[in-house]
């Protein structure tokens, strides 16, 4: 007798061991069609799993998010199966589920081509049509290793070899293809109808650039054709928000061959920059920072002292002049320490918060460059807080407040800001005791602020743990914008000290912090987030004055002058074009307000106001327009 308890607490009994699928059939035939897997005593199992003992059972149908992961994981196997059919000498490695899809890494004698991708996709569909059953079997670790070696899959064998010997290994087989996998999987390939292979790329074996490069194929999979189409369509739409595209359309900036990874800011883009910089500056004031400015070029000796030369010399631009070696500064921290060190600091002076819009250059790997998001010349909204150990937590909390106030102002909070705590890496300085304290104070600050956060183990800098704030771009790539880092190393190396209550010299604690990260990246994020439709306060041009015909040019010029005098960012178009043409041009530039001026307006001293979304606000005096809308 097997007794099953369902989620609604009803019970069912069966006289013999029974598969999950059979139970689903017993409950309802239609259910058995949509079932993907099941939780048996809260453990996830295949539909073929045989229940032989009393247990709780929750069926997973294709309505549930977790089932999507199963579909995608099975789709990865389907991909590997198809590749093995078409390219028998390809070796399989790993094929995990990722956000919105899956990938599979293969070792093959040549890179896959876009044509291959189409062939593979076709083969996959073929395997789906064949409705191949997917079955599970378990082996001891060593026999699993032997099995994969026997079929020439050395990568698989290597993966399994690193699993403890006493663990049972599960294998999944579909037709003549067998893969190592924890499972669960869909019962048959026919459940995998709605997939698409999206891209190919290289990827290092085990994520290590010292290893050989494998061929990675990415795909996505969904329950229905509608879901798949919607996703692909969403991606297409998202690409229209690409900051590089909008940057061109709105004439914000450009990059050219002679200065890879460095930005030429055009008048519109630079206006946007200035607005942001001024706003951040006002926040420095509010949160007790002192703004400074430090040199671009510093003797290499300083970077050797700080420890950066040793670690990052390949990425530091340097030059020689008058037999001295200089580095173009890759970061501002050592400079801020130099300012801190002028004179003697008392504990009473702490905390000292120095901030700089610090221009930095790093020779980033060519493949890392990405529009405004990853550049070689950038400006950090950099700040360093020198304080005592006791002050760390309060300072971190104040920073978090400041960051969220800023992100709120830029309307970035509704899309979610991911908060990550990066903890001690393997290679590090400082005792475990100090790391314990440091990590705890960061974690406590996050908890006190009631934030949801996750840990990135081992991702901290060698000199201290950090909190990072991540936002996504238009197609879901994650970028770090803000961060705050504890540093046990630099104050010591560069001699940032203060005199404590007892008149003794102590090394100050240093917090590195940035809210935007780099202004370039932050603006890139803003462009994509707002799709170029900036709120009025950020819009490079706020108002466009358009006349209908030449007769009204003079009045239009007056309106322009009036707004311009008030500090409003205004543009005038009195060109010899139809009003429809002018409206189109200014609307494409996402200018918030269009003022239409014809005879009616000129005679009555009015302007007619149109919003960039097409809405007509009617006619009003210039004063009313300024008072009510700007």
Tell me the catalytic residues.
333, 362, 380, 382, 384, 466, 512
Regarding 315 and contact with RNA (CB under 7 A), the answer is yes
Q: Is 461 in the site for RNA (CB under 7 A)?
A: yes
Considering the rule CB under 7 A, would residue 556 count as an interface residue with RNA?
no
Show the binding pattern over residues 256-295: x = contacts RNA (CB under 7 A), - = does not. -x--xx----------------------------------
Q: Which C-beta is closer to RNA: that of 35 or that of 591?
A: 591
Nearer to RNA, 18 or 354 (CB): 354
Q: Determine, following the binding rule CB under 7 A, whether residue 336 of this chain makes contact with RNA.
A: no
Least distance to RNA from the beta carbon of 606, Å?
A: 9
Residues paired with 478 in a beta bridge: 472
3-state secondary structure 208-255: CCCCCEEEEEEEEEECCHHHHHHHHHHHHHHHCCCHHHHHHHCCCEEC
Q: Tell whether residue 240 is a contact of RNA (CB under 7 A).
A: no
CA–CA distance, 522 with 411 (Å, rounded to integer): 12
Nearer to RNA, 444 or 459 (CB): 459
User: Using the rule CB under 7 A, is 366 a contact of RNA?
Assistant: yes
Name 567's Cβ contacts closer than 8 Å, sequence gap at least 6.
Answer: none
User: 495-500: long-range contacts at Cβ-Cβ below 8 A with a sequence spacing of 24 or more?
Assistant: 495/337, 495/341, 496/337, 496/340, 496/341, 496/386, 497/345, 498/345, 498/346, 498/347, 498/349, 498/350, 498/386, 498/388, 499/344, 499/345, 499/346, 499/347, 500/347, 500/388
Asked if residue 310 binds RNA (CB under 7 A), the reply is no
| CB nearer to RNA: pick between 6 and 213 | 213
Tell whether residue 33 is a contact of RNA (CB under 7 A): no
Element (H, E) at 383: strand 377-387
Residues of span 591-620 touching RNA by CB under 7 A: 594, 596, 598-601, 608, 610, 612-614, 616
- Which one of residues 551, 554, 623, 627 is an interface residue with RNA (CB under 7 A)? 551
Asked if 201 is part of the footprint of RNA (rule: CB under 7 A), the reply reads yes
Q: Which of 485, 498, 520, 532 binds RNA (CB under 7 A)?
A: 485
If binding is defined by CB under 7 A, does position 567 make contact with RNA? Answer: no
d(C-alpha 164, C-alpha 167), whole Å: 6
Return d(Cα 3, Cα 56) in angstroms, integer. Answer: 8
Applying CB under 7 A, does 583 fall inside the site for RNA? yes
Choosing from 290, 475, 536, 561, the residue that interacts with RNA (CB under 7 A) is: 475
Closest approach of Cβ 107 to RNA, in Å? 12
Measured from the CB atom, the residue of 134 and 217 that comes closer to RNA is: 217
Cis peptide before 184 (omega within 30 of 0): yes
Interhelix angle for 65-86 vs 114-129, to 10°?
Answer: 110
Determine the interface stretch with RNA among 35-43, 48-56, 111-119, 389-397 (rule: CB under 7 A). 111-119
| SS (HEC) of 73-93 | HHHHHHHHHHHHHHCCCCEEC
Residue 343: C-alpha distances to residues 338, 504, 525 (Å):
10, 16, 40
Which one of the spans 179-187, 274-282, 500-508, 572-580 is the region binding RNA (CB under 7 A)? 572-580
In 3-state terms, the chain is what percent helix, strand and coil (to 5)?
Answer: 40, 30, 30
Would you say 153 or 573 has its CB closer to RNA?
573
What the block records as the tokens of 595 is: 């003022």
With respect to RNA, which residue has the nearer C-beta, 185 or 610?
A: 610
**Residue in 7, 17, 202, 295 binding RNA, rule: CB under 7 A:** 202
């Amino acid at each position: 007798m097997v007794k099953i308890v369902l989620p609604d607490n009803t019970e069912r009994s069966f006289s013999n061991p029974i598969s999950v699928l059979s139970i689903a059939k017993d409950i309802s035939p239609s259910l058995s069609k949509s079932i993907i897997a099941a939780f048996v005593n809260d453990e996830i199992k295949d539909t073929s799993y045989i229940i032989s003992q009393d247990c709780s059972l929750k069926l997973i149908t294709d309505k549930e998010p977790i089932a999507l992961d199963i579909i995608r994981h099975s789709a990865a196997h389907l991909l590997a199966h198809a590749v093995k059919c078409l390219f028998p000498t390809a070796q399989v490695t790993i094929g995990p589920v990722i956000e919105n899809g899956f990938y599979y890494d293969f070792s093959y004698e040549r890179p896959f081509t876009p044509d291959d991708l189409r062939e593979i996709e076709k083969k996959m569909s073929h395997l789906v049509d064949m409705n191949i059953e997917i079955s599970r079997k378990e082996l001891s670790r060593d026999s699993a290793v032997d099995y994969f070696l026997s079929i020439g899959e050395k990568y698989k064998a290597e993966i399994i070899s690193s699993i403890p010997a006493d663990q049972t290994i599960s294998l999944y087989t579909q037709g003549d293809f067998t893969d190592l996998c924890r499972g669960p999987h869909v019962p048959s390939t026919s459940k995998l109808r709605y997939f698409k292979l999206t891209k190919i790329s290289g990827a290092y074996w085990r994520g290590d650039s010292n290893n050989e490069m494998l061929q990675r194929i990415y795909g996505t999979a969904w329950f229905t054709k509608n879901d798949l189409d919607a996703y692909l369509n969403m991606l297409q739409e998202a690409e229209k928000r690409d900051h590089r595209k909008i940057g061109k359309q709105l004439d914000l900036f450009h990059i050219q061959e002679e200065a890879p990874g460095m930005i030429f800011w055009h008048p519109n883009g630079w206006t946007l920059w200035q607005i942001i910089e001024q706003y951040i500056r006002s926040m420095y004031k509010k949160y007790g920072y002192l703004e400074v400015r430090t040199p671009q070029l510093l003797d290499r000796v300083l970077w050797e002292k700080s420890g950066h030369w040793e670690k990052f010399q390949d990425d530091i631009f340097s030059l020689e002049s008058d037999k001295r070696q200089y580095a173009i500064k890759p970061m501002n921290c050592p400079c801020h320490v130099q300012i801190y060190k002028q004179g003697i600091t008392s504990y009473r002076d702490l905390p000292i918060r120095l901030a700089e819009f610090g221009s930095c250059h790093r020779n980033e790997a060519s493949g890392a460059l990405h529009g405004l998001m990853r550049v070689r010349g950038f400006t950090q909204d950099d700040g360093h807080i020198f304080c005592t150990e006791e002050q760390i937590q309060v300072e971190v909390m104040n920073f978090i407040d400041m960051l969220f106030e800023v992100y709120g102002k830029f309307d970035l909070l509704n899309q979610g800001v991911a908060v990550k705590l990066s903890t001690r890496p393997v290679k590090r300085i400082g005792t475990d005791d100090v790391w314990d304290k440091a990590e705890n104070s960061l974690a406590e600050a996050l908890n006190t602020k009631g934030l949801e956060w996750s840990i990135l183990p081992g991702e901290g800098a060698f000199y201290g743990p950090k909190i990072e704030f991540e936002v996504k771009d238009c197609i879901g790539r994650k970028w770090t914008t803000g961060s705050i880092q504890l540093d046990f190393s630099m104050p010591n190396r560069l001699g940032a000290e203060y005199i404590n209550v007892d008149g003794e010299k102590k090394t100050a604690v240093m917090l590195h912090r940035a809210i935007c990260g780099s202004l370039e990246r932050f603006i890139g994020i803003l462009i994509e987030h707002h799709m170029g439709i900036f709120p009025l306060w950020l819009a490079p041009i706020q108002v466009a004055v358009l006349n209908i015909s030449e007769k009204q040019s003079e009045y239009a010029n007056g309106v322009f002058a009036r707004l311009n005098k008030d500090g409003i960012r205004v543009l005038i178009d009195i060109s010899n074009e139809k009003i429809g043409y002018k409206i189109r041009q200014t609307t494409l530039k996402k200018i918030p307000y269009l003022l239409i001026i014809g005879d009616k307006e000129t005679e009555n001293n009015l302007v007619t106001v149109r919003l960039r979304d097409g809405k007509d606000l009617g006619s009003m005096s210039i004063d009313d327009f300024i008072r009510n809308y700007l």
